[in-house]
């Protein structure tokens, strides 16, 4: 059986190891969920060598006690004051905090509320707290992918001339949620024609037309875990130039995936995809990184982008998503998710066999 | 005709007035949208006495030039470096920034990238940048409300014994989006029975049963503007104690709304609702603030909570949402939206006439 307390204890041990600090303040909601099981917002987690205290406001007190075990719950009115009172009670003088989760304004409030405590930004190694997924987490991600892919299969019959991008997004989202998604990984991108050239297009009232590329970047959330994949359709037949670009992106994608294994630098995966596109004269149209970790957040460590020296480790789940974008014309992105292993990777999503012509 | 450039110029003038600084860095995405029309993410807006420069990464360059007019667009690879290069070119030595939008880690990066620039956190008065809504904004909010309320009307026939909370949320969300909502204001809360005692319940697999309270807290987004309202249903007849509590919350809500007008302190509205519930022995079950501003964010200034001395001004749009929660039993919240006027307020949502028994 899956024992929650063992899992959370292991995660806290990893936290302490990465943080290299005796006393920690965790504000990032996803980290709090990962370390305790609490899914609410606006909390604060104080972590000592052998204890954890979860601070929540009045809206979340009941929820926090239902969702956690073996953790003291303290209710606060003002977060900084609640933190101060616990630190005073425990006599803590040095406190590490997540420098990207705490705003400068909140930092000033904490400094004022904690005149006798030295606040120390924690190492960015903490970004990797959630990077290695255990079997249960991989299972949740696989369920999220299954829900998403089932919904996309159901959506195919909708993708035809006359349908709006917004309709495609709404119908896909509905099918993911009917299929069991607790939420969507992000605002679904359903772009058509020239809008496919916008990597973060917002689905609008444009109607799909004959000859269009249709790009769907979408994901489902299951038990907090995200899926993220991008699929291309062509309504009718692509032009030779479109087909050539598609095949180049697909090969960049395949080469990157083939290179994934424990011990390879994240930047190397990006370099492989990028240099292939560069050699095909498409480098300057590839305007974003090659991939990112996925888990309780849809974007998390590691980042597969230029120059990243972090090494891939078995258990990481990453996207691989090269793309090329010709403003005013069209764009292409192909995105899959892979679980890093010792000697390669397992592709978790179900790749299309090629450009789907509808 | 609605002239965008006049609108954005006015908004920037208000920004400069509130900020009391010659040069400003705006990072908050909603503020960037409000000041420029750019709806993408990860940008930075630099504002001088008579110029604005929008910095975006490669994913957003095309989108930024399509969505804005009269603003220089600069593309960056690393945000702090992009900001540094503009400041250097302009010879800027003092830069105000939003202390709640910039993380402590990002602040350290900026400080390192800008060794010759003095970084100064802007006044919290900037929280009120978007607090006053013009006619067009109120129009968008009204459209969002109309979409949401139409969807809730359509949902009513679903609320009966046997349906799950998750189903209610999915069907309501689908109807809002089919009705034209670009998005949902937040994760819809559809809670039943004892789950209504959780102010931020997550809709789950619990099935609605005879005698249950059902609480729906939901909203639609239209052109970026949010609605937010909470409605109570009772499946069958409420107990005398439930009816009494409902009537008390309703009267607290009505008294608070009756007190809204320009010049009244925000904390006074909260005090009116709270003291009525206290006099009815329910004070300790009212565990959150009475309301908040709504606009491009679903929660924004002003806050109607204990002790807030900010004065209401004509043009603010706020929620009024007292509630009482009996852990393990049931909870009640009634939430409407009001537009503050000189001599009172206009209730924008359509209040129920009382507890709806289904």
Token pair, residue B303, equals 């806050």
- Are A176 and A153 in contact by the 8 Å Cβ rule? The answer is no
Do B109 and B47 share a domain, yes or no? yes
Do A149 and A272 share a domain, yes or no? yes
Do A96 and A146 share a domain, yes or no? no
Do A198 and A58 share a domain, yes or no? no
Distance CA A8, CA A36 (A): 6
Do B186 and B299 share a domain, yes or no? yes
Structural domain that includes position B303 = 135-357
Residue A257: give its domain's CATH number: 3.90.230.10
- pLDDT tens-digit readout, B258-291: 999 999 999 999 999 999 999 999 999 999 999 9
ipTM score over 0.85, yes or no? yes
Q: Is B181 exposed, middle or buried (0-12, 13-18, 19+ CB in 10 A)?
A: buried
Query: What's the average pLDDT block by block, 10 residues per block, for chain A (358 residues)?
Result: 77 91 94 95 93 92 89 93 93 94 93 93 91 97 98 96 97 97 96 93 94 97 97 96 97 98 98 98 95 98 96 98 96 98 98 85
Contacts of A62 in chain B (CB under 8 A): 197-198, 325, 327
What is the reported pLDDT for A3? 66
What is the reported pLDDT for A1? 40
Mean pLDDT over the full length of chain B: 95
Do A112 and A189 share a domain, yes or no? no
Q: CB-based contact (8 Å) between A307 and chain B?
A: no
Q: pTM of the predicted model, to two decimals?
A: 0.92
What is the reported pLDDT for B1? 40
User: What's A156-225 look like in SS3?
Assistant: HHHCCCCCEHHHHHHHHHHHHHHCCCCEECCCCEEEEHHHHHCCCCCCCCCECCCCCEEEEEECEEECCE
Closest residue to A177, CB basis, from B97, B170, B199: B170
DSSP helix, strand, coil percent of chain B (3-state; round to 5): 40, 25, 35
Contacts of A106 in chain B (CB under 8 A): 100
Do B34 and B147 share a domain, yes or no? no
Do A91 and A27 share a domain, yes or no? yes
Do A50 and A161 share a domain, yes or no? no
Given a cut of 90, whether residue B43 has pLDDT beyond it is yes
Place of tokens 């999915």: B170
Do A31 and A151 share a domain, yes or no? no
Q: Number of structural domains, chain A? A: 2
Instruction: Tell me if the bond preceding A302 is cis, omega within 30° of 0.
Output: yes
Do B46 and B160 share a domain, yes or no? no
Residue B54: give its domain's CATH number: 3.40.350.10
Do B17 and B165 share a domain, yes or no? no
Q: How far is A51 from chain B (nearest CA, A)?
A: 26
What is the reported pLDDT for A201? 87
Q: How far is B342 from chain A (nearest CA, A)?
A: 32
Q: Where a domain ends, among B112, B128, B144?
A: B128
Average pLDDT of span B165-177? 97
Given a cut of 50, whether residue B56 has pLDDT beyond it is yes
Strands B183-184, B220-222: parallel, antiparallel or unpaired by DSSP? antiparallel
- Are B262 and B342 in contact by the 8 Å Cβ rule? The answer is yes
Contact B63 A198 (CB under 8 A): yes
Given a cut of 80, whether residue B2 has pLDDT beyond it is no
Given a cut of 50, whether residue B310 has pLDDT beyond it is yes
What sign has the CA pseudo-torsion B165, B168, B172, B175? positive
**Phi/psi of residue B211, each to 5°?**
90, -5
Average pLDDT of span B179-195? 96
Q: Is B264 exposed, middle or buried (0-12, 13-18, 19+ CB in 10 A)?
A: middle
Q: Where a domain ends, among A106, A128, A150?
A: A128
Q: Where a domain ends, among B128, B158, B182?
A: B128
């Amino acid at each position: 059986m899956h024992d929650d307390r063992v899992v959370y204890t292991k995660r806290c041990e990893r936290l302490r190891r990465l943080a290299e600090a005796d006393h920690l303040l965790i504000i990032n909601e996803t980290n709090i969920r990962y370390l305790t099981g609490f899914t609410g917002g606006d909390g604060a987690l104080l972590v000592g060598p052998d204890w954890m205290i979860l601070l929540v406001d009045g809206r979340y007190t009941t929820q926090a006690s239902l969702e956690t075990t073996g953790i003291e719950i303290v209710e606060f009115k003002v977060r900084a004051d609640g933190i101060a009172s616990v630190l005073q009670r425990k006599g803590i003088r040095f406190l590490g905090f997540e420098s990207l989760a705490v705003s400068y304004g909140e930092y000033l409030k904490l400094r004022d509320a904690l005149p006798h405590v030295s606040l120390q930004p924690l190492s960015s190694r903490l970004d990797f707290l959630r990077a290695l997924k255990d079997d249960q987490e991989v299972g949740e991600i696989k369920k999220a992918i299954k829900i998403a892919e089932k919904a996309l299969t159901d959506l195919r019959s909708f993708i035809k001339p006359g349908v709006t991008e917004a309709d495609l997004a709404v119908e896909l989202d509905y099918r993911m949620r009917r299929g069991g998604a607790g939420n969507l990984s992000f605002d679904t991108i359903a772009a058509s024609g020239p809008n496919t050239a916008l990597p973060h297009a917002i689905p609008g009232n444009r109607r799909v037309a004959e000859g269009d590329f249709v790009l769907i970047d979408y994901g489902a959330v299951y038990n907090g875990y995200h899926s993220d994949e991008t699929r291309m359709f062509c309504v009718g037949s692509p032009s030779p130039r479109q087909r050539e670009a598609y095949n180049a992106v697909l090969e960049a994608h395949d080469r990157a995936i083939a290179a994934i294994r424990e011990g390879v630098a994240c930047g190397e995966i990006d370099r492989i995809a990028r240099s292939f596109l560069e050699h095909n004269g498409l480098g300057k149209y590839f305007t974003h990184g090659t991939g990112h970790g996925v888990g309780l957040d849809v974007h998390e460590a590691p980042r597969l982008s230029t120059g990243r020296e972090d090494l891939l480790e078995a258990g990481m789940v990453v996207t691989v998503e090269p793309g090329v974008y010709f403003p005013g014309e069209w764009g292409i992105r192909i995105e899959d998710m892979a679980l890093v292993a010792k000697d390669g990777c397992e592709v978790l999503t179900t790749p299309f066999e090629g450009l789907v012509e509808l």
